[in-house]
Structure 1
Amino acid sequence: MGLTSKFMRTEKPVRSAREYLRNRSRGLRCDRPPVFIVGCGHSGTSLMLRIVDMHSSIYGVPFESRVLLRSRFKIRMAEALWRKNAVAAAKRRWAEKTPAHVYCIDRIFRIWPQARVILMRRDGRDVAVSLRERWGDFDRAVHRWIEDNRAGDAWCGDPRVFELRYEDLVRDFEPRMREVMTFLGERFEEGLADFHTQTTVYGGESAGIRKQPDLPPNRALRKAQLRNPLYDGSGRWRDEMSADEKCRFKERAGDLLIDLGYAGDLNW
């Protein structure tokens, strides 16, 4: 689906245009660097977008654009749209979440040298069982976790990139989000944890309580996560990973799991 059709599906252009003109007349501008949320899928990227969207200065783009995989013209078209929507929402910067943009961090900084990137990490065992439920292919899930995290490794240490573990976010929310806001140059706001109270449409799904058709399990789980108060969804691999899958994971991704600090050895 193209960028324009996604926008028409998730936004209300007439209302946005009216509010955009009103806020522009009041002197509001989208004048702060953009924020990109990247990482392996099913690592908390959707959750992070919903949280930062609660901030009074940050507009969360309500779909995965994958725009950095497209032409420079489409990138600039998207940027103009998101800047307008940020002003329409009375906010001064925009944040976009596409996990696959972890492969485009160099391009992000070529286009927006002052951009900020939040790199989400998560225990690969939990990611593997989650993606396996989505795809029906455990080995493909493990491969993606390895490749996406290796792509992010190249940018660790860059002051424009903030590395955040899903587990730290859900278990120690306020201290971690204070660090994120300091990194973004924004003040911490108490209402960030209230993301589940919003009814914003994200990715074609309402995060609120409106009734919707039956969703695939992975999308239903994401919706439930976004509409409920923050909870710790880690450790599911202990009940859902078979003995054979554990062996396969250790063989292919065990070293990376240790490198990222999720295990001290392979005796699990």
Structure 2
Amino acid sequence: MALSPPSPGQFFLVGCPRSGTTLLQSLLASHSQVISFPESHFFVKTLPRLAWGRSWKPWILWLRRSTTAMAPKRMAAFLGKVNRPDLAATLPPAPWSQNQYAHLINAVLADLMGQQHKQIWLEKTPDHLHAIPQIQRLLPEAKFIHILRNGSDVVASLYEVRLKHPELWRKEKADRDRAVDRWIQDISLSYRYRHHPRHHLVRYEQLVRDTPGTIAPLCDFMGIPYEEQMLENYRHSSQQVVLAQETWKANVTQAIAPTQSLKFNALFSASEQAQIRERLQGLAIDDSDPLFHNLRT
């Protein structure tokens, strides 16, 4: 396919699942200069492993071939999600190296961006939080937006979504300890980047309490002007980034408002709540920073 020029803005929205990533994505996607898409998972599990190199051990060669074969499949599946399956026929033949794969991702997203006359593409896959070093190496111009949410609310939401959708979350069963571990791990990763100039951290509770005051500095970070229409059009934008089968994201169309820990209180007994909150204290952060204040509650 004909490659587009480098994208003026490459942004990845990351964070622990059930932290408000879809709401923030929908708000940003409603900006006149931003295009966004359903989750791609481009750099999760399908990053080509050709760089593993020169071992001829059979199991390593099999793994390299397996993960490399997934790259074009992942790209073709993504093009179907964005209603451009025609572009799949123009993809170069596999195998792809990691650099080729990253270049192709940027080319495809920049092409989609250019067709809509946008200035920025925004990719939102929460698990890309765990692939930041690889993304930074392969796309050095990329910037990252992290969203952080109160631990008890995230644990309750992770637990509930796995109860309601076990067929889609079969690899992560409804287990409150596992949910706590996931939140601690992901917040710890975001914490490392709190002072990095190419990373911007957003607190979910601030986003829903003062949406304009939270979005405006984020727009500055992205190099675009704040637009009031974002507060009205995010419901429409959510239809472009949420797939029909992702029913657990349906509440993104609701009015933005502060939430209380009703789900946490409803799902867990008093003793379970106490155990969860005790484990949340294991997160090693300095909560004197307003972004991290009361995050472990």
Quick check: TM above 0.5? yes
Query: What do residues 47-70 of structure 1 show as CA deviations (whole Å, max 9, x unaligned)?
Result: 111111111111112x21121231
* Structure 1 position 123 matched with structure 2 position 162: no
- Checking the alignment, whether the CA contact within 8 Å between 2:102 and 2:139 is kept in structure 1 is no
What letter corresponds to residue 48 of structure 1 in structure 2?
L
- Checking the alignment, whether the CA contact within 8 Å between 1:122 and 1:167 is kept in structure 2 is yes
Higher relative contact order (CA 8 A, sep 6+): 2
- Checking the alignment, whether the CA contact within 8 Å between 2:159 and 2:175 is kept in structure 1 is yes
Cα 1:234/1:42, change in 2 over 3 Å? farther
Distance in 2 (CA, whole Å) between partners of 1:229 and 1:221 is: 16
Tell me which structure has the larger Cα radius of gyration. Answer: 2
RMSD of aligned Cα (Å): 2.5
* Structure 1 position 65 matched with structure 2 position 97: no
Distance in 2 (CA, whole Å) between partners of 1:257 and 1:170 is: 25
What is the percent sequence identity of the aligned residues? 28
Match of 1:197?
Answer: 236
What letter corresponds to residue 204 of structure 2 in structure 1?
Y
- Checking the alignment, whether the CA contact within 8 Å between 1:30 and 1:92 is kept in structure 2 is no
Query: What do residues 220-242 of structure 1 show as CA deviations (whole Å, max 9, x unaligned)?
Result: 452122x2232223433244432
Distance in 1 (CA, whole Å) between partners of 2:138 and 2:9 is: 11
Aligned-residue offset at 1:116: 1.8
Distance in 1 (CA, whole Å) between partners of 2:9 and 2:238 is: 26
* Structure 1 position 41 matched with structure 2 position 68: no
The secondary structure found in structure 2 opposite 1:200 is helix
Match of 1:224?
Answer: 251
Name the stretch that deviates more: 185-194 or 233-242: 233-242
Aligned-residue offset at 1:200: 3.1
- Gapped regions of structure 2 (runs ≥ 5): 49-97, 163-173
**Structure 1 length as normaliser, TM-score?**
0.76
Misfit runs of 4+, over 6 Å: none
Name the stretch that deviates more: 105-114 or 160-169: 105-114
Count of residue correspondences:
226
Cα 1:114/1:75, change in 2 over 3 Å? closer
- Gapped regions of structure 1 (runs ≥ 5): 1-16, 206-214
Distance in 1 (CA, whole Å) between partners of 2:238 and 2:122 is: 18
Distance in 1 (CA, whole Å) between partners of 2:211 and 2:117 is: 26
What letter corresponds to residue 68 of structure 1 in structure 2?
F
